[in-house]
Structure 1
Amino acid sequence: MMAMAMKRQRVLMAISSSSSASILFGLASQRSQTEMGMAFFLHTSSGSGRQKCQKGCSFTNIEDALCRFNDMVHMHPLPRIVDFNDFLSALVRIKQYGAVLSFSKQIELLLIERNVCHFSILINCYCRLQRVDFGFSVFGKIIKLGFEPNVVVFSTLINGLCIEGKFARAVEFFDEMVERGYRPNLHTYTTVIKGLCKIGKTPVAVELLKKMDNEGCQPDVVTYITIIDSLCKDRLVKEAFDIFSAMKGKGIQPNVVIYNSLMHGLCNSDHQEEAPAFVNEMMSLNIMPDVITFNILVDTLCKKGKISEAQGIVKTMIEKGVEPNTVTYSSLMNGYLLQNRVSEARKVFDAMITKGCIPDAFSYNVLINGCCKAQRIDEAKQLFDEISFRGLIPNTASYNTLINGLCQVGRILEAKYLFKDMHAQGCSPDLITYSILLDGLSKQGYIDEALELFREMQNSYLKPNLVIYNILIDAMCKSGKLEEARELFSELYVKGLLPNVQVWTTIISGLCREGLLDEACTALRQMERDGCPPDGWCYNVIVRGFLRNNDASGAKQLLQEMFDRGFSADAHTRTLMGDLLSNDVMAILV
């Protein structure tokens, strides 16, 4: 007992010192460290004014927490672990996860026996800090100390795995929990259902929902939102509405989030005509549409080319007291741009600014893309420069859009300069950036520069994909560099990439261009053996290759094979074979 008392006394002295406090919590400034030390000194020296530890304690900052902890450790006798747990829970509520872990260490040094609730708080903090591995270490400690983990511990770890994106492992751990005889609670089920939806296993999530209900654990509105939203994103709208009906049948009141998910599902599955009735149903239940509801309708109508109707929705939302936001205006701009009405889109953009709605990078990207498609490149460049002028930062999509626009009109030098500026501004190019620039360089005849950029990309954090390889293989074939094209094609296998039908078609086209028809046929057979059957486009390419090389017999055989497989000749192939093939072969194609 004497040794234990002396150890506790040493801990109290450590906690009371300013240096220990500053080391323990890693406070930012020397001034705050000194103030902390003074606070501890005053509390240690004075018995009066000390607050008793009470259930449901709370504070708004770490300084208050330090003072409270100092009070608690100087009480005689020391508070129980439940009191310390209450204190730590209050810290969790203000998201001071690191401080919780540090305080826990001090509690351990005071030789206060900790319980499962205490360890579950620590696990939660590690999970919130995205260190679920440490959370599992605490889980192991619970077992080692002879405690029985409860459902909260399992649920917290499952949630931690989901926070780190380890959804498959979260589902596995859930199954382990059930196998151990633990009954999941509402939070556990909902967390796992979210995880299943994230990894594309929505049908499994639906089955788990049914099992949850059968086990007597009533799903709540959050559980239903998760599954309904995932089903709608998978375009399984009928299934989503079935679950929606079942939810209402259980007396669970829907909210605007569920209605928005269903609205999005309807619009994505070409049932937007049902949307107005759906909005009326919402309002009859005193669930008012929000800006997201209206934006879904506006965006759908704009994509369908119904700009006037979309404008009518915007007018209605304003009448309902819902202010349009950047998403609303961006959808309207995109609607006009889809019809190549750049001037009207610009008017919407200007009106947005006039009404005090500050455009974001996405809004600029929409308009820049429209200008590029209309080949109004200088206007697009002006808008791009305006992004920085407004204090916004151009993102990768901004650069990609303008680089693509410059390449499309042959202004490759400006595209290269913008690519360099992208690096200089700390904006990382992605695979799309490289594919755009490689395609632009190749089409303008800068083959060597394209290869140099390709090798530079290989040495970066990005690894070329099939799209990138196909661009270069096509460029090599068209520039008469078939051997270089072959080398790139062979490199795919070395890099662990299997050619798809587009890449095979490109190399077959290159072989035909050089008159190597036997090799082209060999490639056609090899792609099938590799599990990549040729499609209609591939057959048309090789047939045209045979026709251009005046091999009518080979072309006839390939045409018959193409026909037998359910493919037909396209207009280009029909035109080319008109003077070369007999009428009976032509009849096959009708």
Structure 2
Amino acid sequence: MDPTAKLTKALLFNASEPKVAWQLFKRILSLPAGEHFPVAVDTITRILIRAKMMNELDELHQRLLQHSTLPLHILHPCLTSSIAVSANSGLSGNTLSHFKAFRSRFPDNPPSVHLYNCLVRSCIKAGSGDHVAWLYKDMKVAGIAPETYTINILIGFLCDSGRLEEAYQLFDKMPDKGCKPNEFTYGILVRGYCRAGDSCRGLQLLSEMKSRGFAPNKVVYNTLISAFCKEGKNDDAEKLVERMKEEGLCPDIVTFNSRISALCDAGKTLEACRIFRDMQIDKDLGLPTPTIITYNLMLKGFCKGGQLKDAESLFEIMKSDSSLLNIESYNIWLSGLIRNRRILEARLVLKEMIDIGIKPNVYSYNIVMDGLCKNGMLSDARALTSVMTSNGILPDAVTYSTLLNGFCSRGKVLQANSVLHNMMQSGCFPTPYTCNILLHSLWKEDKTSEAEKLLQKMHERGYGVDTVTCNIILDGLCNHGKLDKAIEIVNDMWTHGSAALGNLGNSFIGLIDDRDSVKKCVPDLISYSIIISGLCKADRVDEAKRKFLEMMGKHLQPDSAIYDTFIRCFCKEGKLSAAFRVLKDMEKRGCSKTIHTFNSLILGLGRKNQIFEMHGLIDEMSEKGISPDVYTYNNLLSCLCEGGRAKDAPLVLEEMLQKGISPNISSFRTLITAFCKATDINAAHEVFEISLDVCGHKEALYSLMFNELVSGGLVAEAGELFESALDRSFDVSNFLYKDLFERLCKDDKLEDAKALLNKLIEKGYGFDPAGLMPVIEGLRKRGNTGEAEELSERMMEMISEDNVENRNGQHRMGFMFGSRNKDGANDWQSLIQRDDGSGVTLKVLKRLQKGWGRGSLLGKRPQEDASIF
């Protein structure tokens, strides 16, 4: 038997021992090449790739290129086959370097178009656009004519990169290159235009496709139908469905599911629901029967659109038929409940799943975990990990990252560290993302030494330092007033990568792997966003402009967020013309206006008291499908109130409520202050009562109204409100209660002052001892020296206690809370007792329409919603 054949057989036998196989192949190289040599090369290439022996793979190609005895007709296909195997395995970087070496070795013997196709696909998957362009140029140099398949790959790549004009130019020149477009070419282009929001151009291609003799398939039609639905062109979508039928293509379940999915994604759930209903009741028309996928799409649409009652009704129908319900259905319903802050119900759904035999998966628990953490219910969130384990579901990296992020977002770094420790103990090793969450929290808390230790641990785990990590550090520096240091690091990152962190003056430089730093840690768009935002906040706008130009010079295209930073800065400075110039450049570069763009411009116009223009922008927002938020309306309210037009504010408030936008405390603060300033106390009372319905009984609202009443001399009303605040155990540090005591005593209402003072003491409040002085003086003037002396002694005791605490190094807050949740309290129970204004009804709107300051205060409060929020 040929020695090469024997060794090749041994090579295959030792495929599970890559090092042994490599030694065998080197023995094959030393023998005269037999007919089995190409098989040996293909085999060893696959073995080395599977074993991730990249150095040996490089050596293999070097040995083949330098082989002096192998004839060209054997060596050439061996090299191209090995390169193709590497390309198909996703090793684009290594493969391209091998290919370039091959092209240099055999400039007059180019590879086949098949190899170019393999390499182009590999580079596209790796996101290496520059390499794709180089390969296409090299094809021209080598004189290799591209196939239709080659051009289709390139057109798809250009479409996915948003370069539609280039894609069409390439498509238009296909006949000149000796290859004709096929139905797949048209399908790729249609999909590209539809994804770019230009479905009309896609429709033109459909007509062109037919004129050239190609029959469009269902995939092309479904792509266009989905795109028209997303763009709100439902009539065009309906026409396409009819056109499909005319051409003998019966719309299938995919067609209808595509329409429903697109409409729901675009927030058009009513239109989606109409199609869904037709599928259920018009079976005689030949419409497909809804499947579990259809039901899940509709359920997701209702949940996403906040139509929870419709979602609940649909979910009950699905529960009545087991074929229409699966784990995905329950996860969608859980997400809907969590999104609408119905956390207790979500907890019950988890139990229901177990009861009916649909075992929640880790994703189910992670949905609830996210809701608990976002609502500050961290003790229950932590307990949920134990529930998961007891039910046979191990928490994963997402579970722990969510919990860790929950603690970090509230500044509880110690508890976050504990979560990280538990995560590692459970065998679920943290990801770089997990560590970056904790790192961000440490920088936010200015705990730089702890941050440094965490970076060291990240390095030990082999995570390294990437651009995300560097951006966290840059953000921390900017937030702590070290802007110049952050700029210095960004400048050095271009040449030194993450080694630029050595500029911090600590041991960060020891954490850097110089071989990878430049690749991983060059500044990105977020890096410049952080620096530009920091410069604008520091009123260093000219420097921010220079950084913007530098960023452009580095081929980093600005996004809407960076433009919004400049617009917000100019609007705050009252430079509206400059803000609108930025807006013009923003639109020129194809960056869409965001809610932040509009809010900044509305704020700027408000400071110039340009009410009409503000309303114009709000109308433009609606036209562009951007819903105004509470900050939009707060800017408008502030402008009206500061401009002396508080009487128009109720209409704005009514509009907010009608659109489902809940006013916040800031909204009501603006209105209450404005009405009190205009001495319209009745109107202020009306707003205050409504604010309690909308926002709940919040200390900020009580203190605001109380202080305005005291300032306005309405001491009786102020006293009643203060007593109510004490009954609710509010922190009264922001209440002007000393002024109230003085006014009560001055108005000869000493008994009222004494009653409030005694209530403060009885409920265990600590307070400024000076608050006793007006009452003591009032008692003395009345001749009640005994009571005056008792209060004087009490005041001296409080001063003495205050001095003792100060000597012990304790900071006396001056005011104690009444009944507060302690750590470890049951979050579910506290949530049930919350009153956060879920009972707002249209009765409020009717009162708003009647005007302000007429009639009595709000009477009976509306019934609270059955839900917990």
TM range (shorter): 0.5 to 0.7
Matched, 1:446 2:695: no
Name the aligned partner's letter for residue 362 of structure 2: S
Change (3 A) 1:482 1:128: closer
Equivalent in the alignment of 1:502: 734
Q: 1: CA distance between counterparts of 2:596 and 2:421?
A: 40
Q: CA deviation at 1:348?
A: 3.4
Superposition TM-score, scaled by structure 2 size: 0.45
Q: 2: CA distance between counterparts of 1:318 and 1:406?
A: 40
Equivalent in the alignment of 2:547: 313
Equivalent in the alignment of 1:262: 473
Q: CA deviation at 1:397?
A: 1.1
Q: 2: CA distance between counterparts of 1:298 and 1:450?
A: 42
Equivalent in the alignment of 1:173: 384
Of the structure 1 ranges 256-265 and 194-203, higher mean CA displacement relative to structure 2 is found in 194-203
Correspondence for 2:276 among 28, 39, 57: 28
Q: 2: CA distance between counterparts of 1:475 and 1:185?
A: 52
CA contact (8 A) 1:512 1:520 kept: yes
- 1:476-555 alignment runs, 5 A limit: 476-494=709-727, 496-503=728-735, 504-505=737-738, 507-508=740-741, 510-511=743-744, 514=747, 527=760, 530=763, 532-534=765-767
- Deviations for 1:469-513, whole angstroms, at most 9, x for unmatched residues? 33333333333322122122223245x252512213453464466
Q: 2: CA distance between counterparts of 1:263 and 1:28?
A: 50
CA contact (8 A) 2:525 2:558 kept: yes
- 1:175-214 alignment runs, 5 A limit: 175-176=386-387, 184-197=395-408, 201-214=412-425
Equivalent in the alignment of 1:159: 366
Q: CA deviation at 1:428?
A: 3.4
- Deviations for 1:67-126, whole angstroms, at most 9, x for unmatched residues? xxxxxxxxxxxxxxxxxxxxxxxxxxxxxx989x87993499xxxxxxxxxx97786566
- Deviations for 1:353-412, whole angstroms, at most 9, x for unmatched residues? 454434333223223334444xx21x2541342231352443221221121233224332
Correspondence for 1:228 among 423, 429, 439: 439
In structure 1, stretches of 5+ residues that fail to align are 1-17, 41-58, 66-96, 109-118, 144-148, 567-590
Q: 1: CA distance between counterparts of 2:532 and 2:581?
A: 17
Q: CA deviation at 1:443?
A: 0.7
Name the aligned partner's letter for residue 498 of structure 1: F
Q: 1: CA distance between counterparts of 2:618 and 2:772?
A: 44
CA contact (8 A) 1:365 1:398 kept: yes
Change (3 A) 1:437 1:189: closer
Count of aligned pairs: 465
CA contact (8 A) 2:642 2:674 kept: yes
Correspondence for 2:350 among 132, 135, 142: 135
CA contact (8 A) 2:524 2:556 kept: yes
SS in 1 for 2:477: helix
CA contact (8 A) 1:332 1:348 kept: yes
CA contact (8 A) 1:438 1:454 kept: yes
Q: 1: CA distance between counterparts of 2:435 and 2:743?
A: 54
CA contact (8 A) 1:333 1:349 kept: yes
Q: CA deviation at 1:313?
A: 1.8
Q: CA deviation at 1:334?
A: 3.4
Name the aligned partner's letter for residue 438 of structure 2: I
SS in 2 for 1:492: helix
CA contact (8 A) 1:473 1:489 kept: yes
Q: 1: CA distance between counterparts of 2:384 and 2:689?
A: 43
Superposition TM-score, scaled by structure 1 size: 0.64
- 1:41-52 alignment runs, 5 A limit: none
Change (3 A) 1:369 1:188: closer
Matched, 1:466 2:714: no
Q: 1: CA distance between counterparts of 2:417 and 2:761?
A: 38
Based on CA coordinates, which of the two structures has the bigger radius of gyration? 2
Equivalent in the alignment of 2:564: 330
Name the aligned partner's letter for residue 310 of structure 1: A
Change (3 A) 1:523 1:180: same
Of the structure 1 ranges 380-389 and 193-202, higher mean CA displacement relative to structure 2 is found in 193-202
Q: CA deviation at 1:437?
A: 0.7
Equivalent in the alignment of 1:72: none
SS in 2 for 1:164: helix
CA contact (8 A) 1:396 1:429 kept: yes
Name the aligned partner's letter for residue 715 of structure 2: L
CA contact (8 A) 2:439 2:472 kept: yes
Q: 1: CA distance between counterparts of 2:288 and 2:633?
A: 53
Q: 1: CA distance between counterparts of 2:700 and 2:747?
A: 23
Q: 2: CA distance between counterparts of 1:227 and 1:441?
A: 46
Q: CA deviation at 1:448?
A: 1.7
Q: CA deviation at 1:444?
A: 0.8
Q: 2: CA distance between counterparts of 1:244 and 1:463?
A: 43
Matched, 1:301 2:535: yes
Name the aligned partner's letter for residue 442 of structure 1: C
Change (3 A) 1:513 1:278: farther
- Deviations for 1:291-343, whole angstroms, at most 9, x for unmatched residues? 33222211111111211221122112222222323322232233345555555
Q: 2: CA distance between counterparts of 1:201 and 1:451?
A: 39
Q: 2: CA distance between counterparts of 1:38 and 1:181?
A: 43
CA contact (8 A) 1:396 1:428 kept: yes
SS in 1 for 2:603: helix
Matched, 1:383 2:617: no
Change (3 A) 1:479 1:176: closer
CA contact (8 A) 1:237 1:262 kept: no
Q: CA deviation at 1:346?
A: 4.7
CA contact (8 A) 2:614 2:636 kept: no
In structure 2, stretches of 5+ residues that fail to align are 1-252, 258-272, 298-313, 338-345, 499-516, 782-787, 804-869
Q: CA deviation at 1:290?
A: 3.3
Change (3 A) 1:411 1:252: same
Q: 1: CA distance between counterparts of 2:599 and 2:471?
A: 25
Equivalent in the alignment of 1:105: 322
Change (3 A) 1:430 1:542: farther
Equivalent in the alignment of 1:357: 591
Equivalent in the alignment of 2:429: 218
Change (3 A) 1:174 1:276: same
Matched, 1:455 2:689: yes
Q: 2: CA distance between counterparts of 1:142 and 1:257?
A: 42
Of the structure 1 ranges 228-237 and 468-477, higher mean CA displacement relative to structure 2 is found in 228-237
Q: 1: CA distance between counterparts of 2:320 and 2:711?
A: 69
After superposition, the CA RMSD in angstroms is: 4.9
